[in-house]
Amino acid sequence: MIINKKHLVLAILLPVQFLLLKLAAKNPEFIERYYSNGIYPSISAFFRIILGWIPFSIGDVLLAFGLLLLIRFLFRLIKNRFRSFIPKIIHFTAILSVIYFCFYLFWGLNYYREPLAKNLQYHQQEYTTAQLYKVSKLIVKRLNIYQLRITKNDTLKVKNPYHQKEMYKMAISGYANLAKDFPQLNYQFPSVKSSLMSLLQTYNGTSGYLNPLTGEAHVNDKIPKTGYPTTTCHEMAHQIGFAAENEANFVGFLAANYNGNVYFKYASYRMAFAYCIGELRKRDNTLSKELWKIVHKGIKKDFNASYEFWQQYKNPFEPLVKKGYNAYLKANKQDKGVQSYNYVVNLLISYFEASYQKKITIIN
């Protein structure tokens, strides 16, 4: 039995990397300064520049190729009745070690940066139900305005007329406007693409993903287009270094809201309302029902259509995928797992209250 020394060294380095990552997780200031605002922007820009012009997803191709190699590895292992099992497992572990290293170097260390709230100088604290209701009501009013502006009739459902590729280009202007108020959210060198695995993503209940090894943002082009702008902006937020889902959701909201296009603005308030009404329902179902009464019928039709779309693709494997992703999030400092998505509400409340205070100051 011959063991390749290089493979053995790389395999041993995997647990070493685990330990180093644990150490990094305890030093968010270091990660923020030297990685997220240090080497990461250059790494990210490099991949987006060299791959952004390619019309299809290189990341999806690599994933498919990797899956085929894994199947081939398992097939040959079984076919050969597990002969040379230890050298092959060491080889496999060595490959995992390299992928693990690249994942965190190219993007993953952003999970351990300082909170976005601190970056934006929001003084976050536990919000009250009264605060949540007030902000939710404000969001509904804005959502109603944009729905009516688009349809001219409060009973009609919004129909986004743009092609997916058009929206990828349109999303850039929102980030350009956003950077004027929030320079730290500047976005350059676009690399946003429709996923080649959109149908598979639909079945596992996901709207998009960032490939950390190629820096490409992928959007599921099967999803309803009324929410497409915020999904696109969400994935772009991942590209500029906001790995946490709640933070990417908030940055996605901002980028869509700062966009001059009315469909992007509608999508931003649509997403904000979805998160706020979900939290309000948990706290006070009576207030939640009261709020729904002032929502335009056309908006309700939009939410119903989205719900019916996802119901078509319900399957027994989706919960398993979500459990796996939940474990992945928890492993990367998102203790609430998939529920961490709902913590975007705290950021939304901080944003609207800060905006309100600014308006009061200007008036005075």
* Spatial separation of the C-alpha atoms in residues 336 and 188, rounded to whole Å: 31
Query: How many CB atoms neighbour CB 10 within 10 A?
Result: 19
Q: Are residues 25 and 64 in the same domain?
A: yes
Q: Are residues 298 and 334 in the same domain?
A: yes
Which residue, 51, 86, 112, sits at the end of a domain?
112
Which residue, 59, 80, 112, sits at the end of a domain?
112
> Which band of pLDDT confidence, cut at 50, 70 and 90, is reported for residue 331?
confident
Distances 320 to 63, 66, 100, 205 between C-alpha atoms, Å: 19, 21, 23, 11
Q: Are residues 97 and 127 in the same domain?
A: no
pLDDT digits (tens, 9 = 90+) for 88-121: 899 999 999 999 999 999 999 999 999 999 988 8
Q: Are residues 86 and 227 in the same domain?
A: no
Q: Which domain holds residue 69?
A: 5-112
Q: How many domains are contained in the chain? A: 2
Q: Are residues 100 and 183 in the same domain?
A: no
Q: Are residues 58 and 142 in the same domain?
A: no
Q: Which of 174, 138, 178, 182 has its CA nearest to residue 353?
A: 138
Which residue, 112, 136, 162, sits at the end of a domain?
112
Q: Are residues 164 and 313 in the same domain?
A: yes
Q: Are residues 278 and 227 in the same domain?
A: yes
Say whether pLDDT at 238 is over 50.
yes
Q: Are residues 71 and 160 in the same domain?
A: no
Q: Is 124 helix (H, G, I), strand (E, B) or coil?
A: coil
Average pLDDT value over all residues in the chain: 91
Distances 172 to 51, 137, 166, 187, 188 between C-alpha atoms, Å: 17, 29, 11, 7, 8
Q: Are residues 64 and 130 in the same domain?
A: no
pLDDT at 328: 75
Q: Are residues 122 and 257 in the same domain?
A: yes
**pTM exceeds 0.75 for this model:** yes
Q: Are residues 173 and 106 in the same domain?
A: no
